[in-house]
Structure 1
Amino acid sequence: MRIGYLKNLGRHELEQASSKWQTLHENEKIDLEPVGYDEIEAKIQNGEVDAVLVNSRNDIYQALASYSVSEIALLALVQAGNFNKYQQTVELGELRNMPCIMVASVADEKSEYHYLKDILRIKNDLIAVETLGEAILMVESGSGYLIMNEMTASHVNDDQVQKLFLLRDGKQLREKYVLLAKPDDARVAEFSKMMRENIN
């Protein structure tokens, strides 16, 4: 089985579910490959991948089904020292004077912009960088803040970066993880269940 994933989501959870899958289905290997946002539908329809892991974009794909994986808390990564070190949360409004850093290749910039501006309703200026490494350097230097989900942010270990749960009007911001695939795909349904068990 071939599973795609949006590059900015990382592949850690997919790797965990893949090894579990391979234990249960001895002869079936899972290949993971990064996919650009604009390629998702074509790659699934052409059979190049069986499913793609995405975060909620509210795009409607007429021919694809969504297999729910999880809802994950969003965090703001900010330069350490800007907020009390014991602070756990931050209101979006408290970040209004900082640009929001967007990690996206040139090809994915449009969909990432749409996600941040229209889905998460981020009003800040956006600065685009191509790699997570660049984004972390910008956060360390106080050039902006980065939004990541709790799963992906857990892999950033940097004492110059503070992670704060992101709130809007006191309410925790979350994003949905789904696998997009053809309808009625029993293998993808089973794989999404494994991912759900791993994450939750």
Structure 2
Amino acid sequence: MFNQIKYFIAVVKNKNFTKAAEECNISQPAISQQIKELEAMLGTQLLERKGRSFTLTKAGKYFYNHSQDVLNNVEILIEETQKIGNQKIEPYVLHAGYLRNFGTREFLKAVEEFSKEYPDIKLNITNGSHEKLYLALEDNKLDIALNDLRRAPSEKYINKFLITSGFEVVVNKKLVDFNQTKIQMKDLVDLPCILVVSPSEQADEEYYYRDILGVGGDFLITNTYEQAFLMVTLCQGYLVINNRTKDQIPHNSEVISLPLYNGGEKMEQKYYAFWKADNSGYYVESFFDILKKQFE
């Protein structure tokens, strides 16, 4: 049936049995017979024949629209099966990445469990900013990434929700009221926002913090969180983190972490697992399933 579906798609695309037969390297009578056998197997007519031409029946239109997806999935299945079968010759490598400022607990636990379940699969792990991970997926340097959602969902990618986490501000206690339990973005306008980014990522991160989160002040740039926390301690600026990672803040009696609000709304970020739709293989999906369990 696999070949019959291929022949049917070729006939419809070429709008001609002879051209389809040439494309599929079989004779015209043979491809006509294969289409008839496909119709007999389905128990319905797909083509309304009119001399040397034809039109699609209602069932034929439905079958054509959906058979292409089925064919693509079968081709992916064949490719993945061949990869698994050839592992002894060429080990399969799964490239996975996670957002640098998200925290490592769940991701590394997933790596550990995946490695135990699939000991023959090599894992290549990386971390980075949102933009670094996005570009790595786009360039096929990553198979799957744990990242925050900053772009509108695209059919090019599979987007699987993992968790929502509130934003918090790490700031020196001297700069807030003693009994303060939350902080407004507008109250930070005169204080620089500290970003932990590389020079190549600075412009994208500044855009996100300015235009999406609403940062109104200047930016200070550093490439390590240790340096960022030192800058907070010295009242040089504030640092935005997610509330999952506040337990990683170095013990320091001079700083405090407060939930970030914009008016009456608590500011939050959604985190997803992303991978390309055309790279949705067995091991990518297995890694996601294990990663998802870490958040349940």
- Structure 1 length as normaliser, TM-score? 0.84
Residue 261 of structure 2 corresponds to: 167
Of 174, 178, 182, the match for 2:272? 178
Q: Mark the runs of 5 or more structure 1 residues left unpaired by the alignment.
A: none
Conserved? CA contact 1:69–1:192, under 8 Å: no
- Closer, same or farther: CA 85–18 of 1 in aligned 2, 3 Å: farther
Number of residue pairs matched by the alignment? 200
Conserved? CA contact 2:99–2:146, under 8 Å: yes
Q: Mark the runs of 5 or more structure 2 residues left unpaired by the alignment.
A: 1-93
Tell whether 2:295 aligns with 1:199.
yes
Tell whether 2:157 aligns with 1:100.
no
Shift of 1:121: 1.8
- Closer, same or farther: CA 33–57 of 1 in aligned 2, 3 Å: same
Conserved? CA contact 1:68–1:192, under 8 Å: no
Moved more, 152-161 or 162-171: 152-161
Conserved? CA contact 1:41–1:64, under 8 Å: no
Residue 120 of structure 1 corresponds to: 213
Q: Within 2, Cα distance between the matches of 1:172 and 1:186?
A: 38
Give the residue type in structure 1 aligned to 2:276: K
Query: Deviations for 1:108-156, whole angstroms, at most 9, x for unmatched residues?
Result: 1122112101221212212222221111111001111000111233211
Residue 145 of structure 2 corresponds to: 52
Q: Within 2, Cα distance between the matches of 1:59 and 1:127?
A: 28
Moved more, 124-133 or 58-67: 58-67
Identity of aligned residues (%): 22
Tell whether 2:112 aligns with 1:19.
yes
Residue 249 of structure 2 corresponds to: 156
Shift of 1:164: 0.4
Shift of 1:38: 4.7
TM-align CA RMSD: 2.5
Residue 169 of structure 2 corresponds to: 76
Query: Which entry has the higher C-alpha Rg, 1 or 2?
Result: 2
Conserved? CA contact 2:163–2:295, under 8 Å: yes
Give the residue type in structure 1 aligned to 2:262: R
Q: Within 2, Cα distance between the matches of 1:150 and 1:135?
A: 17
- Closer, same or farther: CA 83–190 of 1 in aligned 2, 3 Å: farther
Query: Deviations for 1:175-198, whole angstroms, at most 9, x for unmatched residues?
Result: 111222111445444434443432
Shift of 1:35: 4.1
Shift of 1:163: 0.5
- Closer, same or farther: CA 98–41 of 1 in aligned 2, 3 Å: closer
Q: Within 1, Cα distance between the matches of 2:189 and 2:122?
A: 46
Give the residue type in structure 2 aligned to 1:174: E
Shift of 1:41: 5.0
